[in-house]
Amino acid sequence: MTVTACLLVIGNEILSGRTQDANIRFIAQGLGAIGIALDEVRVIPDKRERIVNTVIECRARFDHVLTTGGIGPTHDDITSACIAEAVGVPLEIHRESFDLLEAHMGREKFNAARQRMAMLPRGATPIRNAVSVAPGFSIANIHVMAGIPRVMQAMFETLAPTLKGGAPLVSVAWHSTQLSEGNLAEGLEAIQARYPTLDLGSYPFERPDGRYGVTLVTKGYDAARVEAAGREVHALIESLGCTPVAGEPTFT
């Protein structure tokens, strides 16, 4: 069975448009490489009830729940407290994290606000990173990371080897500037019906010189079936009188 994950992007700044999320693609690709399918992404505000209820719902539906955002020192960084509430444990000072942060910042600068970053749900395992001493954490099947992309990526590199996944996601892509979705839709649907466990995608593109085309991508966790479906996609493109070109189009 496919191992699944849900990503919760937490932050009013994302929903207001003030900040553009830069983490989804990195996490999706990173999870796919270790055989975990990112099955759903939700963007939710910094509101206690919404975070708690969403975490409770998603942790029951997915093998892994990952979150980004809301673990800093300010009043709206409430993710850690909400995760503690969702799993039914207290939020408390994590002594090792407290000591590391204090040593890093110095006792004078390590004020009450910054000490909030050392508060984790009881029983949580810190997610260390090479960029910031402030930790993320894992508890049960929930993995909490920073929203700042550079810090999140460092946390994910620490987290990924600890996650139980499956076979890595593999893909085969073909494209042609001679293709149109209207002509290939019926044939692509027939291939999808023969390979229901795979994801067959059709992605139109426009080149800088004004030429249009379509990329057909076959993805899945069974490498042999992906390769077989990819051959059928290649044959479909040829049957439409077009020339298949391997891979994604480049625009140089």
What pLDDT sits at residue 210?
A: 84
d(CA 219, CA 12): 33
pLDDT tens for the chain, 252 residues long, are 789 999 999 999 999 999 999 999 999 999 999 999 999 999 999 999 999 999 999 999 999 999 999 999 998 899 999 999 999 999 999 999 999 999 999 999 999 999 999 999 999 999 999 898 899 999 999 999 999 999 999 999 999 999 988 889 999 999 999 899 999 999 999 999 999 999 999 999 998 888 899 999 999 999 999 999 999 999 999 999 999 999 999 876
- The alpha carbon dihedral of 77, 79, 85, 88 has a sign of negative
pTM of the shown model: 0.87
* Greatest alpha-carbon span in the chain: 72
Per the CB < 8 A criterion, the answer to whether 10 and 58 are in contact is no
Quote the DSSP letter at residue 128.
Answer: -
Burial 63-85 (b: 16+ CB within 10 A, else e): bbbbbbbbbbeeeebbbbbbbbb
d(CA 13, CA 20): 8
